[in-house]
Amino acid sequence: MKLREDIRNIAIIAHVDHGKTTLVDQLLRQSGTFRANEQVEERALDFNDLEKERGITILAKNTAIHYKDTRINILDTPGHADFGGEVERIMKMVDGVLLVVDAFEGCMPQTRFVLKKALEQKLTPIVVINKIDRDFARPKEVVDEVLELFIELGADENQIEFPVVYASAINGTASMDPDKQDEDMTALFEAIIKYIPAPIDNRKEPLQFQVALLDYNDYVGRIGIGRIFRGTMRVGQQVALMKLDGSVKTFRVTKMFGFIGLKRVEINEAYAGDLVAVSGMEQINVGETVCPIEHQEALPPLRIDEPTLQMTFLVNNSPFAGREGKWITSRKLEERLRQQLETDVSLRVENTESPDAWIVSGRGELHLSILIENMRREGYELQVSKPEVIIREIDGTLCEPVERVQINVPEDFTGAIIESLGSRKGEMLDMANDGNGQVQLEFIVPSRGLIGYTTEFLSLTRGLGILNHSFDSYQPIIPGQVGGRRQGVLVAMETGKATAYSILALEDRGVIFVEPGTEVYEGMIVGEHTRENDLTVNITKTKHVTNIRSSTKESTENIKKPRIMTLEQSLEFLNDDEYCEVTPKSIRLRKKILDKNEREKAAKKKKYAQVE
């Protein structure tokens, strides 16, 4: 069997923030892919603004480097479980993986998640223990943890005999020895060439190309990115596209791109083992196979993770609608959501009875909040409802998604965390004390119990705890209320500007969300009540002016700092009868029914309906 020794296809997988993207930066730099005078940003592959700000990889990306006589195709994958659909498909395109693990933190929930996907595909692993230069790095213990995880996930004998490279991506060094670092990354380059299998060279057989990722370009339309598993592909070639529904479409390959560094390069021909991007097929989808018209043979379709969470997206109809956004109509909103479907295969958009509302389903809160954040930055105004988990019927039983949660906290907070997750129907699987006052807890918790939990967790641990979770499985529904907000809210009584005088008077009623001078409207949520019921308040009241000097005249300086919430915090905070209004400049929380009397009538109706 002939192999293409000039190519290696690898994916880099890891938990969030264990240094994948920084590692790719160094491989790009040290391979000589960039010119000596070329300016390269840090985390060069994270070119989306949100990726740069949050320091996470959202979209899988491919690049290629040359080392000696070998081209190494590298796919940088998202570490966050919400983007697991991307990870799974990438595993089909490569022959091996670099599993990057932090030398201090060790194996984390997403390490398990991404490694499980790689082992299922029978890929060859190389373990990279990164951040070896960190204080308290414990490389030898971490290698043992990784080995235990391999065994637990059912790795075969070949996979368990993994080579280990010790690296400091930030310093650009690597070595096979945990106690000393070489001057550069040569040890890692050599390990990739030595251990990752070369693809089979069967370029003379009939073509088979499978799409694993989608891109979109206004000039050429949809672009399918994937791997040639067999044969040769040329520009101008007439080919058959084997659709997932069994139908076959024919088209001509109009353009083909290869990858080198951060650039796409137009090419005319590619062979088995190459990763390429192809344009010319408008209707192409992930998992579909391109083959010769006279030799139609489809590859097994790729499995795509189904959504677990859904929200309703609506046209903004608040009293302040249209003030800040450029795109506010239902037509524009629907166009934008449909455009997202072109490249995001884990997303679903369904119409509702109303022409102004859509049910949007995704892989988790982060997946959907990234979409909302991108839309507001592009000038869209919209409203969204509280996130809800998607219930499925499996073998006649209603099931809900559950997540595996890993928590690292100082010992003092352990009791409070166990109690808080117990009230959210969490089941503790493991508890380990590291001897330095830190405790690691592992739970299985229904996904709906984790909606809104992050804020509570940070206040319970005074910001010292670390929480990670990833989707585990669907399990029969646990009856009863799980999670949700316990406190009521303070709701504005009328439209106007919030005044320091009113805010000062309301501070003992709860936590205020707005600053003096903020414009508010009737039905807008302006704070969190200290009690469980909602309270309608007048936050626009001004002080009655008299000519008598008051002893409290200067007290406006003592107003407490308001709680200004991010988009994620706002989505977590929502209750069933509330919306989050999102515009390019503002994030506001509001009641679905703005009028106080109408709200009370609706609440009474609901109460009577429940009693009946």
Binding-site positions for GTP: 17-22, 130-133
> What stretches of 493-551 adopt beta strand conformation (E)?
496-497, 510-512, 519-520, 525-529, 535-537
Q: Which two tokens stand for residue 165?
A: 């490279």
- Angstrom CA distances, 25 to 261, 379, 518, stand at 10, 32, 44
For the chain, the residue count is: 612
Separation of alpha carbons 131 and 154, rounded Å = 27
SS (H, E, C) 401-427: EEEEEEEEEEHHHHHHHHHHHHHCCCE
Give the C-alpha separation, 549 to 504, whole Å.
Answer: 18
Q: Do the Cβ atoms of 111 and 98 come closer than 8 Å?
A: no
With beta carbons less than 8 A apart as the criterion, state whether 396 and 329 touch.
no
Token pair for 516 = 């003096």
Q: How far apart (Å, rounded) are the C-alpha atoms in residues 590 and 531? A: 18
Integer Cα distance of 261 and 126 in angstroms: 22
φ, ψ for residue 271 (rounded to 5)?
Answer: -125, 175
- Residue 220 dihedral angles phi and psi, to the nearest 5°: -110, 0
C-alpha 143/C-alpha 148 separation (Å) is: 9
Report phi then psi at 173, rounded to 5.
Answer: -125, 155
Q: Which two tokens stand for residue 120?
A: 């299922």
| Max Cα distance, the chain (Å) | 98
**Rounded Cα distance, 40 and 28, in Å:** 10
C-beta separation of 303 from 86 below 8 A:
no
Long-range contacts of 115-120 (CB under 8 A, 24+ apart): 115/13, 115/149, 115/150, 115/153, 116/153, 117/13, 117/84, 117/87, 117/88, 117/91, 118/11, 118/13, 118/91, 119/150, 119/153, 119/154, 119/155, 119/159, 120/91
Which sign, positive or negative, has the C-alpha torsion 562, 576, 80, 482? positive
Which residues are annotated binding-site positions?
17-22, 130-133
CB-based contacts of 157, cutoff 8 Å, min separation 6: none
Backbone torsions φ then ψ of 264, nearest 5 degrees: -100, 130
> Could you give the count of Cα atoms lying within 13 Å of 308 in the half-sphere of its Cβ?
28
CA 93/CA 229 separation, integer angstroms: 9
Strands 232-234 and 348-351, how do they pair?
unpaired
CA distance 163 to 159: 9
Q: Are strands 427-433 and 397-410 parallel, antiparallel or unpaired?
A: unpaired
Structure tokens at 398: 């209603």
Q: Could you tell me which residues are beta bridge partners of residue 536?
A: 491
Q: Which token pair is 612? A: 């009946």
Contact 536, 596 (CB under 8 A): yes
Ramachandran region, residue 322 (left: φ > 0; alpha: ψ -120 to 50; beta: rest) = left
